Amino acid sequence: MSVQRTRYTFDGLPLADVDRGTNILVAGPALGGIRTLVLRMMLREHDREGAIFITADTDGPATLDAYERLGGSLDATRVGVIDCTEESVDDADHNVCAVGSPSDLTGVGIEFFSLYESLHANGATGVRTGVYTLSPFVLYASPKPVYRFVHTMAGRIRAADGLGVCAIDPDTVEDQTLSSLSQAFDARVDLRREGDDIAVRTRGLADQSDGWQPVDLDG
């Protein structure tokens, strides 16, 4: 008989396991490897886990392709994408839901709650939600609606024992906006890149060093 894991794990990354219901903000430069880090954190530990991507920087098909190349298992009953790019198109076969603009936070919220319920109805025992990235939402909407959306999403993830992994480039938002958004999260992972060297630092994760640790995002 299979045993359901009580924590979310990040295989191959220098990150501690986290309790169910945890929301993590991942902060770093867009060109520093943050997209790959988020995708790696979203890799499902077993077939019963679900995964939802909310993407405004890369379209749905490209997101699924990148996820699969990193080892992600694509199953439309367990994995779905909310595509907020202007080129978004609904694709029921691959569970891609088009919203069309990161400014439509109401539409994003409706699709998110619907997709979350759908994955649970299909038997998902835990759902990882990844947002890449929050920056376009702040750019196209205004900080307060984005703040409310993020808090509502994080609350749903927390109540459902899911995992939230949301990326943001700190250089694209004001410090006050970043500070306000950070309040929705239980922990933060910072990423830095110096030449070919990439490292991460965590805050708010139990049993985890708060110093910089090297990470191989290709492995």
pLDDT tens profile 96-129: 999 999 999 999 999 999 999 999 999 998 999 9
Q: Once rounded to an integer, what is the mean pLDDT over residues 162-189?
A: 96
Q: What is the mean pLDDT of residues 59-66?
A: 96
Specify the pLDDT at position 118: 96
> Tell me: the pLDDT tens digits for 136-146?
999 999 889 99
* Mean pLDDT computed over every residue of the chain: 94
Dihedral through CA 86, CA 145, CA 8, CA 117, nearest 10? -70
Give percent of the chain with pLDDT exceeding 90: 89
Q: What is the pLDDT of residue 182?
A: 96
Q: What is the mean pLDDT of residues 54-58?
A: 95
Q: Among all chains, which residue has been given the structure tokens 């994995």?
A: 79
- Distance (Å, rounded) from C-alpha 75 to C-alpha 127? 13
- The domains located in the chain, with CATH, are 17-203 (3.40.50.300)
Query: How far, CA to CA in Å, does 148 sit from each of 11, 20, 144, 204?
Result: 32, 22, 6, 22
Closest alpha carbon to 34 in 11, 66, 74: 66
pLDDT band at 209 (very low <50, low <70, confident <90, very high): confident
Q: What is the largest distance, in Å, between two alpha-carbon atoms of the chain?
A: 50
Per-residue tokens: 105: 């936070």
The whole-model pTM stands at 0.95
DSSP 2-29: ----SEE--TTSS---EETTEEEEEE--
